[in-house]
Structure 1
């Protein structure tokens, strides 16, 4: 019985990821401004309706390996004209806050954003089926350079288990 329920859940998660997926974001697209993401509080939703030049980095989830680069490289990103850095993952606000605090116990200007239902990531066309490893659909690894709410650059990883194209040192060369 457990196997049948597990198989059904995996199939449902994969189907959901496919059904809610939008077309892939591209340069020139406006960033979605619906209020779906959270920071620190599970009840306070807001939109990433951004002004200035910002970097939005998507990761598969909190506490997954290879996700400290934006904190380490923050000052260099600012020197290259980035106003704010957002790290977005499909997890709840409690987990995302705990993750941020574990990475930067003394605080960080990098903003860690919870997309607990995957709505924001899905609106970008960047939700992928990771049920085999993470149990639910999650964000594909990506980096977006956004100026005044308009996407300027889309950087994707071919394999979300690796950080090659979206490593901060590589993103800096594209700014």
Structure 2
């Protein structure tokens, strides 16, 4: 294969990722919308889909990538403050990343070697975040579409709050202490 062919294929892939991310993010979820619970994600096994079925107040923390610096600062806040969230009526916290199950599990084990009730969800095909309209074109930094940095607060299957960082590399509005203030 020539260098020109590789360059063309690379450029075509980048363009396709950018257009796909823009299309998928064209309608962002808002309060009152239903969670896209029919979208399959994975938690513990790469071949076994999980259909989310949250009950009560739940928090979905979307992160662009496991093991990335800002994401590895964000997720521990939810792990460390889990009891504070429970005291405010939160039944479950889900950290959602567009990574495969193996990477997601390894990241959880690194962040919480003694375990945590915070659930780490692999949205390996970006189906859940796409249905929420929260896809980020991270082709340059992470190789393809990923999740925007977001927090969705839901009661049963109804979205109450959607918080999205303007800059996915920043951690301001979606930091655990800021989300606790909303509850």
User: For residue 59 of structure 2, what is the aligned residue in structure 1?
Assistant: 55
Please tell me the root mean square deviation across aligned C-alpha atoms, in Å.
1.2
Please say if 1:165 is aligned against 2:173.
yes
**1:72 and 1:151 mapped to 2: Cα distance?**
24
Paired residues, number: 175
Structure 1, gaps ≥5 residues long: none
**2:149 and 2:35 mapped to 1: Cα distance?**
17
Superposed CA deviations along residues 92-127 of structure 1, whole A, max 9, x for unmatched, are 001000000010111111000000000100000000
Please list, as runs of the form range in 1=range in 2, the aligned pairs for 1:99-110 lying within 5 A after superposition.
99-110=107-118
**2:131 and 2:146 mapped to 1: Cα distance?**
13
Computing the radius of gyration from Cα coordinates, the structure with the larger value is: 2
TM-score by length of structure 2 reads: 0.91
User: For residue 146 of structure 2, what is the aligned residue in structure 1?
Assistant: 138
User: For residue 77 of structure 2, what is the aligned residue in structure 1?
Assistant: 69
User: For residue 10 of structure 1, what is the aligned residue in structure 2?
Assistant: 14
- Runs (4+) off by over 6 Å: none
Conservation of the 8 A alpha-carbon contact between 2:64 and 2:149: yes
TM-score by length of structure 1 reads: 0.95
Please list, as runs of the form range in 1=range in 2, the aligned pairs for 1:22-171 lying within 5 A after superposition.
23-65=27-69, 66-67=73-74, 68-171=76-179
Structure 2, gaps ≥5 residues long: none
Structure showing the higher helix proportion among its residues:
2
